[in-house]
Amino acid sequence: MNDAFALIASFPEFKRTPIVIGESDPEGCAACKGSQDGYRNGTMYSSYTAASFPREFEIAERYGVNLEGALTWAFEFEDQPPFAGFRQLASDGLDLPVLNVFRMFAKMSGRRLAIESSAGLNADQIRARGVRGNPDVSALASLDRNKLTVLVWHYHDVDVPGPDANVDLALDNLPIATGNAKVTQYRVDADHSNSYAAWLKMGSPLPLSDEEYSELEKAGQLVALEPQKSVPVEDGKVDLMFPLPRQAVSLLVLTWM
């Protein structure tokens, strides 16, 4: 991508041509399955997706090219058992965690905002070394009139247990100077918006009963971490603190009158 954007930028007549990345994916064999591809069922794939798509905009900005969008390359595999390990957004009709990250993206609108993270990596660091030392804890934010959305992820290339990230999300220069904002936090982690984890907790039954399938359908929907709450805004600032597990993603939606 870096080289492709650089090449496009080298031709002034093409530099502002809209670019759509047709296959924005972690590897090249969607129809392969095996232990090495088991990450696709769970939160490693969803947190990778949250972390990787914003870096495409970062690279596009570097070269001044017009990145209009990016698409994942996923498939539907008929007559296969659930959680077989294919690269897909839903398995046997059961939504996977990665689909809920796309649902989070869909809730974001307006203009993209600048963010700073003391625990985030940039695109060059990830291209050079991956995310194998410290995890990547960073964010993507957008503002649309009276709605601010912030996507926060905690990603690592090695899918093993690790400590939570203690996120201190400091928001400033909000369009509302004082008053109250309503906050909803959506979450994808081991306990939320995750049909695969729910299936493992069931004991990985196959075939699924109608009752089990219905329960997993519900577990695969995007859900809020907690009920919507009101937070004070002072001088256009809000400070939100929360733990974010490894390989988890949160979307915070703030609205005000």
pLDDT given at position 21: 94
Nearest alpha-carbon partner for 97 in 240, 195, 165: 195
Domain count, the chain: 1
pLDDT given at position 36: 87
Residues in the chain predicted with pLDDT less than 70, given as ranges, are none
With a CB cutoff of 8 Å and minimum separation 6, the contacts of 221 are: 95, 100, 193
Question: CA–CA separation, 228 vs 224, rounded Å?
Answer: 8
pLDDT given at position 73: 86
- Region of 231 (left: φ > 0; alpha: ψ -120 to 50; beta: rest) is beta
pLDDT given at position 51: 97
pLDDT given at position 248: 98
β-pair type (249-255, 179-188): antiparallel
Question: CA–CA separation, 145 vs 134, rounded Å?
Answer: 35
pLDDT given at position 61: 95
Q: What's the pTM value of the predicted model, to 2 decimals?
A: 0.95
Question: CA–CA separation, 60 vs 66, rounded Å?
Answer: 7
pLDDT given at position 35: 86
DSSP 8-state symbol, 131: S
pLDDT given at position 33: 87
Position 185: which residue type? Q
- Region of 179 (left: φ > 0; alpha: ψ -120 to 50; beta: rest) is left
pLDDT given at position 81: 94
Note down the domain range covering 172.
2-255
Cα 29 → chain centroid: 21
Q: Which runs of E-coded beta strand occur in 18-107? A: 19-21, 67-70, 90-91, 94-95
In contact, 167 and 115? CB cutoff 8 Å? no
pLDDT tens across 56-72, in order? 999 999 999 999 999 99
Task: Tell me the CATH number at 202.
Answer: 2.60.40.1500
